[in-house]
Amino acid sequence: MKRQLEQMATKEYDVLIIGGGINGTAVARDAALRGLRTALVEKEDFGYGTTSRSTRLIHGGLRYLEHFDFGLVREGLREREVLLKTAPHLVKPLPFLVPVYKGDRVGIPKLRAGMILYDLLSWDKSMPSHRFLKVQEALEKEPLLNSENLVGAMVYYDGQVEMPERVSVENVLQAAEHGADIANHALVEKYLMDGARVVGARVRDLLTDKVYDVKAKFVVNAAGPWIDEMNSKLLEKYRPRMRLTKGIHLLIPQIVNHAIVLLAQSDGRLFFAVPYQGYTLIGTTDTDYAGDLDDIRATRDEVEYLVAETRRVFPSLPTDEIYYTTAGLRPLVRVEGKSEGATSRKHKIVDHAQDGYDGLLSLLGGKITSQRFFAEQTVDLITKRMGLKVPSPTRTKPFYGGDFDDLTRLQDEVVREYEGKHGLTEEQIRRVVGLYGSKGPGILEMAASDGELAKPVTEGSLVLTAEVAYSVEHEMAVTTTDFLMRRSGLGLVAGQGMAEAPHVAAILGRLLGRDAEEVARDLEEYKAYVAMMQEGIEKRPVSELAN
């Protein structure tokens, strides 16, 4: 997968997608798999925005039952099963526990009824049904739970995607494998018009500052929170259609064994404490937002809200070690008269022919869980308008790295083949295969054939130099932030890869032919990104994170 904006300017595509988040990349995958001439441009990097600021869950949405949104729940549960089967290296089953306390708004009878309905709506599930736990059983499973006034708990199963960023990456990798042209760090500056019809976009390459016109029969605006802002700037007549709400998360030391479903006492908001790579991810908040879309940060008040509400259920919650925060925006479909939390998470395709701009579609709302189905509906609409009858294969098609039967068996086989070669350890090998799936052995073959590539990026790290080389050659990583945050996930754990960042920047510099000044600038941009994720907490200077 190579950035080829100059080549893109010489073609006419069936569809040009603007936005490389979960929805835009899913559309690119679906369109390319159906044989459409497909292009995608993204102003930052794949999975950069809302996708990377999520709770990292694949679920039907238990709380939507309270709003009687049974169709949305069923859709999520069906798509959860699709992802468990087609992306088994990225999406895993996860047990959830709902503690119930005396006086809670949702008591045992109401919760039991909801669980029965959730099981019925997931009639085709591959995971166990719910069960009730008595107080002692609940405390055995979660010893740090507050035992005072605890009356029991429910356990049920949903899914987790530790790196939704890699779902976005694998979407575009598979799209490129089927002929799509893709470019990150490419900003759309205007729509190209033929009368009142949108026929493409003018794109600025943010790495070279060159400008290209990319033409297409249909343009899909999948820019998430930026859709209204972008359309308002680029179209003469446009009516905003979105409601943006802000959500933050905290990463703290591990305090849970299950994903814990929590109800905030102050406002009734449902949120989670989720096991995540040996830590606990807590979130999310839900408040309306009207600020700078390119500068979203957690505030101290938001952090204190999550800490206070979590401490009600986990009194021993550590507050002196919050590793980082994330803050992102939900691009919801605007519905008047609804609170933030009650606003529907349903997605919507807006055909701007109704506004007088034929050829332009905007994708509003949606969830990580439903990205495949949202994309299928979008491409269905495009193919219908083109007079084509080409069904989507994505319900059964494995993801780019998902074509294997059993992950543990694959890891075992690859360990037997590569352990000890140039010092490769079992732990390193299992991590590579666990993250890259069926593409992992190719990375390990690079390492086994070149001692330099077999070296960890820093001494003792599980991340190999071969991964950096692979990400540049195959995954369009061009910055240290791309690699640490959205390819390897090293920036998403304690320390945030600050010890590794100078080495990664240097490796990228060698691979991409950068001079010392460019390498230094790339590293400073990573430090600034990490500093943003330290907002809202009593933080140490970024320079000390690696210590």
What CATH number has the domain bearing residue 436? 1.10.8.870
* 174 and 249, same domain (yes or no): no
> Which stretches does DSSP call E strand in 256-323?
259-263, 270-276, 279-283, 287-288
* 430 and 528, same domain (yes or no): yes
Cross-strand bridge partners of residue 244:
331
Say whether pTM exceeds 0.75. Answer: yes
Cross-strand bridge partners of residue 41:
18, 183
Residue 284 lies in a domain: yes
* 317 and 359, same domain (yes or no): no
Q: What is the CATH number of the domain that holds 208?
A: 3.50.50.60
Question: Tell me, what's the pLDDT at 16?
Answer: 98
Cα–chain center distance at 374: 15
* 443 and 505, same domain (yes or no): yes
Last residue of a domain, one of 294, 309, 333: 333
* 324 and 468, same domain (yes or no): no
Question: Tell me, what's the pLDDT at 318?
Answer: 82
Return left, alpha or beta for 337; rule: phi > 0 is left, psi -120 to 50 is alpha, else beta.
Answer: left
Last residue of a domain, one of 333, 365, 393: 333
Q: What is the CATH number of the domain that holds 306?
A: 3.30.9.10
Residue 84 lies in a domain: no
How many CB atoms sit inside 10 A of residue 398's CB? 18
Structure tokens at 16: 């040009």
Residue type at 18?
I
* 140 and 256, same domain (yes or no): yes
Taking the C-alpha atoms of residue 51 and residue 47, their distance in angstroms, rounded to an integer, is 5
Question: Tell me, what's the pLDDT at 336?
Answer: 58
Residue 69 lies in a domain: no
Question: Tell me, what's the pLDDT at 280?
Answer: 97
Taking the C-alpha atoms of residue 14 and residue 384, their distance in angstroms, rounded to an integer, is 12
Question: Tell me, what's the pLDDT at 87?
Answer: 98
Residue 311 lies in a domain: yes
* 191 and 260, same domain (yes or no): no
Structure tokens at 79: 């798509």
Question: Tell me, what's the pLDDT at 61?
Answer: 86
Tell me the mean pLDDT per 10 residues along the chain, length 547.
94 98 98 98 97 96 84 94 97 97 91 94 91 97 97 97 98 98 98 96 97 98 97 91 96 97 91 97 95 95 95 89 96 72 77 94 95 98 97 98 96 97 96 98 96 95 97 98 98 96 98 98 98 84 54
Residue 72 lies in a domain: no
* 272 and 324, same domain (yes or no): yes
Question: Tell me, what's the pLDDT at 268?
Answer: 86
Residue 67 lies in a domain: no
**Residue 274 phi, psi dihedral angles, 5° rounding:** -120, 135
Taking the C-alpha atoms of residue 279 and residue 461, their distance in angstroms, rounded to an integer, is 18
Q: Count of domains in the chain?
A: 3
Question: Tell me, what's the pLDDT at 539?
Answer: 59
Question: Tell me, what's the pLDDT at 110?
Answer: 92
Question: Tell me, what's the pLDDT at 296?
Answer: 96
Q: Quick check: 63 and 270 in contact, CB under 8 A?
A: yes
Question: Tell me, what's the pLDDT at 68?
Answer: 80
Q: Which uninterrupted H or E stretch holds 468? A: helix 465-474
Residue 56 lies in a domain: no
- Render pLDDT for 7-30 as a digit per residue (tens, 0 to 9): 999 999 999 999 999 999 999 999
Domain hosting 220: range is 5-50+165-241+345-385
* 233 and 351, same domain (yes or no): yes
* 303 and 451, same domain (yes or no): no
Q: Which residue has the tokens 């299928």?
A: 376
* 364 and 424, same domain (yes or no): no
Residue 76 lies in a domain: no
* 263 and 143, same domain (yes or no): yes
